[in-house]
Structure 1
C-alpha cells in the first residue's frame, strides 16, 4: 500500500511540471532573438518559411535552407557561405513554448557545444 501511495504522489506531482511544447505554431513566421554578449545586447531578426530562413544581424542579411526533422527540430543550412566554417549546418530543437515564444537549443554540425536562447514571434 505504501508503494502505491508513493507512486500516486510521484504521478500527481510530475504532471504539474509538464513542459509546454506546441512547436507547430513556430515552424514559420518572423521572430526576434536577443542575447547579451560582452555587456552588449545583440538582436537577430529572422523570418522562417517551410523551406528558407532569412536572418538580419547587425545589418547583415543571411539566407539558409531549412530542413525539418519534425515539428520541434530542424536544420539550417547556409545557402552562400563565404568560408568553409560558415558552410556548416546548425541543428535547432525547441525545448518549450509559450503563447508567443519558444526556448530552443542549437549547435553547429560537428561541434559538441550547445547554446540556448528564446525567440519571440512578432
Structure 2
C-alpha cells in the first residue's frame, strides 16, 4: 500500500505544469530586485512589443526585443558602451502569478543560467 501511495504522488508531481500566462507580461512596467554584494538592488524596466528600457542606478539602457515564442525572447542592447554591454540575453518565462513572473536568463551561447523574478508595477 505504501508503494502505491509513493507511485501516485510521483505521478501527480510529474504531471504538474507551472502556470505560464506569458501574454500578460509582454507589455508594461516592471521591477526586478536582486542582491548585489549583499545590497538589495532594484531595476525598473518598461517593455513594449519590440523594446525594453531599463533604469538601474540612474543609468538607462535600451534593448531590442525579438520574441522567439510567447514565453521566450532575446534582448539585444541598442547602445552598448563596453564589450560587456553588447552581449545578447536569452530570457525565458518559466512560471507566472497574477502580477509577477519567474524567469531564467543567460548570455546567448552560454550554458550557465540564472533565475530571477519580476513584478509588474503598471499595466
Tell me whether the two structures share a fold, i.e. TM-score over 0.5.
yes
Equivalent runs, 1:58-97 vs 2, <5 Å: 58-97=57-96
Equivalent runs, 1:41-120 vs 2, <5 Å: 41-120=40-119
Give the Å deviation of 1:10. 5.8
Give the Å deviation of 1:86. 1.5
- The RMSD of aligned alpha carbons is 2.2
Equivalent runs, 1:7-46 vs 2, <5 Å: 9=8, 13-14=12-13, 17-46=16-45
Give the Å deviation of 1:87. 1.2
Structure 1 unmatched ranges of 5 or more: none
Give the Å deviation of 1:11. 8.4
Count of residues paired in the alignment: 118
Q: 1:75 to 1:12 in 2, by over 3 A?
A: same
Deviations 1:41-100 (A, max 9, x none): 010000000010000001100001000001100000000111233211100000100000
Q: Is the partner of 2:35 in helix, strand or coil? A: strand
